[in-house]
Structure 1
């Protein structure tokens, strides 16, 4: 998996202890117990102190017990570019060359700030798991939240953790597991003294999304309407959380084939997002995707392609190169061109989508045929 990311950036979520001495580092790598499914890795890091501004590191040789290790410690959040990954038969190790870099540091800070705006009451501990899911790392997000459950010393908001686990399951279409975790989160929040009605709109909305996937449209509308009422009361009509619920209500009416009403909800959601977000955001791309689908259903293919192109362009800027929401945009654009009888162009988009989906999830019954009209939930 790491080899496919050669040339990309990698960031640490913990401190990194290194050594100036290759012999010391090799000694630690060779001493590692290798399981059948694992291999030892030797990291070779280049760091130019004159060109690096955001990476914090220090030689702590004089502060540690074993001075011979010549230890250098890198701070949490240090970013490196993966220069090369090669197997060394002589040492039976993989050598990964990294170069410390400032690239992406400012973008990462801005991205976190934007997401904090739409998750005002969310701690950084919870936000990290949310961002993993936003990046399409659904299994990693679930495992991270399960780790928080198993480590009570971290003192996370347990109800929010269950909501995060449910979100990871929802993205993987494991609907029963998703609903169970959302329901547990909702019950915990509403059982608090006083009840956490504002927070509880998150799992309540998410239960509505599960019901949508299960085609229980009226029940889904009930949950989402309750969430919208509470968010209007607690956040106000022009808040990003309200925009998410408006988008999801649009999804419900889309599924009920009430396209004109769905469009009203999508456009209200988009107007809030364009006012509140200072830069492109994945939620905005979702809304653009959904508006495009409405225009397609209303046989306005020109508007459909315009909004789909905006969504795809935004997603390519924001998301990793292999992400399910990119698959979604490519599928939907291909479907529009297919209906326009521009079959070569349609096939190009649909083939890109299928190949990307197979890389993400592996070849399944779902990826063997073309999936179309994929709506986006916030």
Structure 2
């Protein structure tokens, strides 16, 4: 679309509603980077009622890479987002997509949908779905899984007592039907540790994290992402206890696995960079802290929805660090 026309649409809406933030998408289309089998766009000005708008019609599922997001200098309510068009054959996109498909896999479409809703931060929709599934659950194993997922929802909302209640219900079932070293039990112990961690009960958190880690070190290959998660969580407890050297040791173990096992733009890598950054901040090494936090933000902006709360959290951390420099 003609840039002036796009700006008119945005400014008109912003004048009507002072709470609205305007966003202009500036798209770069390099046809040499597109698969020859795709026809992702077409100029339709000859068929438009207003040819001067120079509209372009994109096919469904067209994919763009976010290059940069910035506020305009003239208006702090207006943002520009630089995009470049790509397709499913983009190596980073396909690697990340395949990884996320593995992480949200499930025995039914509803289970997959629930995991995906949690992954992108749509917690209300996830809870609504899981409560409906709970009504129709016919086995203890199925109910245990749903209790576990509802605990995730509560944890992400900061409702840790409620999360603990759901986890205890789930753990009670799993301990009866699983062997002592089953990886599913490790997942349960890990998540209970997370809840205690968020409640500030660090000794209990460390106890459950170490139970999970013991099972995973036995049952998983040394570069498995769940093992990276385990090291990360132990590091988090030490960080919360102010034992920064121990925290950094475990965070670096986690990052080492993540860099081998995950795509370069995976959100879990962003979390590792963020955690190392906050640890360096606690140690007073602000330049190192800023470097890791900026790496974290870059990945999160590329791999998560723009409204995901963790993006704002990293931005706030960066602002705090910059004040120390």
Task: Tell me the TM-score normalised to structure 1 length.
Answer: 0.60
Question: What per-residue deviation string (whole Å, max 9, x for no partner) do you get for residues 234-282 of structure 1?
Answer: 1133211111111111110001100010001111101111101134111
Q: In structure 1, which of residues 129, 137, 147 is the aligned counterpart of residue 122 of structure 2?
A: 137
Quote the RMSD (CA, aligned, Å).
3.2
Rounded Cα–Cα distance in structure 2 between residues aligned with 1:298 and 1:231: 30
The answer on whether the counterparts of 1:148 and 1:156 sit within 8 Å (CA) in structure 2 is no
Q: 5 Å matches for 1:213-232?
A: 213-232=198-217
Partner of 2:305: 320
Q: Confirm or deny that 1:211 pairs with 2:203.
A: no
Partner of 1:174: 159
The answer on whether the counterparts of 2:171 and 2:185 sit within 8 Å (CA) in structure 1 is yes
Q: Confirm or deny that 1:274 pairs with 2:259.
A: yes
Partner of 2:187: 202
What is the deviation of 1:203?
Answer: 2.2
Partner of 1:255: 240
Rounded Cα–Cα distance in structure 1 between residues aligned with 2:107 and 2:193: 21
Rounded Cα–Cα distance in structure 1 between residues aligned with 2:112 and 2:186: 17
Question: What per-residue deviation string (whole Å, max 9, x for no partner) do you get for residues 45-93 of structure 1?
Answer: xxxxx9479xxxxxxxxxxxxxxxxxxxxxxxxxxxxxxxxxxxxxxxx
Rounded Cα–Cα distance in structure 1 between residues aligned with 2:21 and 2:171: 39
* Closer, same or farther: CA 155–280 of 1 in aligned 2, 3 Å: farther
* Closer, same or farther: CA 320–311 of 1 in aligned 2, 3 Å: same
Rounded Cα–Cα distance in structure 1 between residues aligned with 2:222 and 2:96: 24
Q: Confirm or deny that 1:114 pairs with 2:92.
A: no
Rounded Cα–Cα distance in structure 1 between residues aligned with 2:203 and 2:212: 14
What is the deviation of 1:328?
Answer: 1.1
The answer on whether the counterparts of 1:189 and 1:196 sit within 8 Å (CA) in structure 2 is no
Rounded Cα–Cα distance in structure 2 between residues aligned with 1:143 and 1:154: 20
* Closer, same or farther: CA 266–245 of 1 in aligned 2, 3 Å: same
Partner of 1:101: 60
* Closer, same or farther: CA 120–143 of 1 in aligned 2, 3 Å: closer
Partner of 1:289: 274
What is the deviation of 1:119?
Answer: 6.4
The answer on whether the counterparts of 2:95 and 2:263 sit within 8 Å (CA) in structure 1 is no
Instruction: List gaps (5 residues or longer) in structure 1.
Output: 9-49, 54-97, 341-378
Q: In structure 2, which of residues 168, 173, 194 is the aligned counterpart of residue 188 of structure 1?
A: 173
Q: Confirm or deny that 1:309 pairs with 2:268.
A: no
Rounded Cα–Cα distance in structure 2 between residues aligned with 1:103 and 1:323: 22
The answer on whether the counterparts of 1:132 and 1:140 sit within 8 Å (CA) in structure 2 is yes
Look up the SS of the partner of 1:321 in the other structure.
coil
The answer on whether the counterparts of 2:280 and 2:286 sit within 8 Å (CA) in structure 1 is yes
Question: What per-residue deviation string (whole Å, max 9, x for no partner) do you get for residues 290-325 of structure 1?
Answer: 000111111211111110100001000011111110
Partner of 2:8: none
Choose between structure 1 and 2: higher helix proportion: 2
Rounded Cα–Cα distance in structure 1 between residues aligned with 2:23 and 2:132: 28
The answer on whether the counterparts of 2:104 and 2:116 sit within 8 Å (CA) in structure 1 is no
Instruction: List gaps (5 residues or longer) in structure 2.
Output: 1-19, 26-37, 42-56, 64-86
Q: How many pairs align?
A: 253
